[in-house]
Amino acid sequence: MTPNITAAKTALSHLDVEENPHAIRTASRDFFWYSPVLKARMDHLLADFVVRPRNEAEVIEILKVCYEHDVPVTTRGAGTGNYGQAMPMRGGCVMHLVYMNQVTSCEPGRVVVQPGCLLKDLDAHCIAHCGHELRMFSSTWATATVGGFVAGGSGGVGSVTWGQLRDLGNIIRLRVVTMEAEPRVLEFRGEELARVSHAYGTNGIITELELPLAPAYDWVHCFVATKDFAAAMDCAEGLANEDGVLLKIASVYEAPVAKSYFQRVSPHVAEDDALVGLMVAPQSMDALVTFLTRRPELSLIYRSDDTDWPRNPGLVFEYGWNHTTLRALKFDPSITYLQVRYAYPDHNALIEKMRATFPGEVLQHLEAIRVNGKVSFAGLSLVKFTTEERLDEIIRIHEDAGAQIFNPHRYTLEEGGRQHSDQRQLSFKKEADPKGLLNPGKMISFDTPDWDYAKIYDYPSMTPKEA
């Protein structure tokens, strides 16, 4: 099955096809370089051409033509994914959804939108038109698309209240195009949503999303400092458990993350200060102050609605989730990270144990999240990278202690997830992408069903480095 690139390009030449090599290279890359492991393996990957559909009809046409000519199609939102999700593993076509960015309709509680809309633009539209906003978004809100978030992300800012994208009710409907001789257009709701959400575009292209909205508030961005890491955890978790207090994010940073990596916060904290980042609805600010007054070990050092900091630190969520790693990387390029899940109710003890295990090597960064109605922590620990072996060892020590790892140094769905195949995604891929052309190499169970996860998966058909 050799792709006929030339034939596909010719057939699509009336569309917006990009052939400039520099632009193709840019559109072939995402934030994979966050991971030294992925950087070593994926840096050379390159699409043959990029095409930018203007509407669903053009998406269908591209998929049909590429199917006919056996050309792989890797869909791109904004390319902010950090596991190489949007990178063409064996060349072919990158389909860039930048033009499909319209909000179709919005009302309190609900929006219908095209996949290429930036999260930031979507929020602005909804706030202006119906006083509501997205329940949750990735911290790449300013640059990422809503389609990329649902296809490639999992949750983030807002998950402290709403749980994660995969939870019932956080996606209402997805419209999906398949890659067959005659592409089909399907509408998924309820149980079917799991087929294509967080499937990296391996089994269908999302052309429209219907999402629930939450009321928009003029969130107050806050920082709380404390000398005591346990008190910082207790602050984030305690507030998240205050049912009457509206939060959008509650992040915890071990010392000296704030001093070392948060440039505009640094003048206001000491080396030994742990930090809590919060977004609180204005009508909950009194409650926040009351909560803090009960805990004298915590000090509110910043609130965006009343501050004398000479330099605005910006949006608190741009310190949280994966942005923490980004900020740390700027100061120390040897830093990478882990994604950890500390499950309720033993999360705090487990975190303290991990904290004690890797002094100087792993720094705790936690995000309070709701999982099945209980508040616990997701960890996006900062790791001082030395070797792949040591990184794997750190992961193993976490797993042995009972912490679940979602490995961000892997490009497959399975390895970045729970290390086993998702039968719903797999069986839909067999049906919707019979030639295996959609974002190839990202679903192990499709390519190598008997894989045993003993070591890192190397996609056999990946474009070789020399190429």
Three-class secondary structure of residue 328 per DSSP: helix
DSSP state of 145: B
Instruction: Answer yes or no whether residue 179 interacts with ligand FAD by CB under 6 A.
Output: no
Which residue stretch of 258-266, 277-285, 322-330, 429-437 sits at the interface with ligand FAD (rule: CB under 6 A)? 322-330
Which residue stretch of 7-15, 210-218, 355-363, 452-460 sits at the interface with its own copies (rule: CB under 8 A)? 210-218
Minimum distance, C-beta of residue 98 to ligand FAD, in the bound complex (Å): 10
406 interacts with, out of its own copies, ligand FAD, none, CB within 5 to 8 A per kind? none
Give the separation between CA 316 and CA 319, rounded to whole angstroms. Answer: 6
Alpha carbon of 16 to those of 12, 59, 73: distances in Å?
A: 8, 12, 15
Among 36, 148, 158, 183, binds ligand FAD (CB under 6 A): 148
Side-by-side strand order, sheet with 49-51: 17-18, 49-51, 93-96, 73-76
Residues of span 112-151 touching its own copies by CB under 8 A: 131-132, 135
What tokens does 121 get?
């633009």
Minimum distance, C-beta of residue 213 to its own copies, in the bound complex (Å): 8
Among 289, 349, 401, 467, binds its own copies (CB under 8 A): 289
Based on its alpha-carbon atoms, the radius of gyration of the chain, rounded to whole angstroms, reads: 22
Q: Is the dihedral of CA 234, 404, 371, 345 positive or negative?
A: negative
What tokens does 90 get?
């064996």
Instruction: Answer yes or no whether residue 161 interacts with ligand FAD by CB under 6 A.
Output: no
Cross-strand partners of 225: 275, 299
Instruction: Answer yes or no whether residue 105 interacts with its own copies by CB under 8 A.
Output: no
Minimum distance, C-beta of residue 215 to its own copies, in the bound complex (Å): 4
Three-class secondary structure of residue 391 per DSSP: helix
Instruction: Answer yes or no whether residue 253 interacts with ligand FAD by CB under 6 A.
Output: no
Among 189, 396, 418, 420, binds its own copies (CB under 8 A): 189
Tell how strand 49-51 and strand 17-18 pair up. antiparallel
Nearer to its own copies, 17 or 285 (CB): 285
Give the separation between CA 49 and CA 24, rounded to whole angstroms. Answer: 6
Give the separation between CA 430 and CA 446, rounded to whole angstroms. Answer: 8
To 5 degrees, how large is the angle CA 43–CA 48–CA 51? 110
Instruction: Answer yes or no whether residue 138 interacts with ligand FAD by CB under 6 A.
Output: yes
Instruction: Answer yes or no whether residue 287 interacts with its own copies by CB under 8 A.
Output: yes
Residues of span 27-66 touching ligand FAD by CB under 6 A: 30-31
DSSP state of 351: H
Which residue stretch of 262-270, 320-328, 403-411, 455-463 sits at the interface with ligand FAD (rule: CB under 6 A)? 320-328
Q: Could you tell me if 457 and 413 are in contact, meaning their C-beta atoms sit under 8 angstroms apart?
A: no
Q: What share of the chain is helix, strand, coil (3-state, %, to 5)?
A: 35, 20, 45
Which residue stretch of 7-15, 142-150, 212-220, 449-457 sits at the interface with ligand FAD (rule: CB under 6 A)? 142-150
Instruction: Answer yes or no whether residue 81 interacts with ligand FAD by CB under 6 A.
Output: yes
Residues that bind its own copies (CB under 8 A): 108-110, 131-132, 135, 161-163, 167-170, 172-173, 189-191, 212-217, 240-246, 281-284, 286-287, 289-291, 293-294, 370-375
Residues that bind ligand FAD (CB under 6 A): 30-31, 74-82, 85-86, 97, 115, 138-140, 144-145, 147-149, 151-156, 200-201, 205-206, 321-323, 326, 439
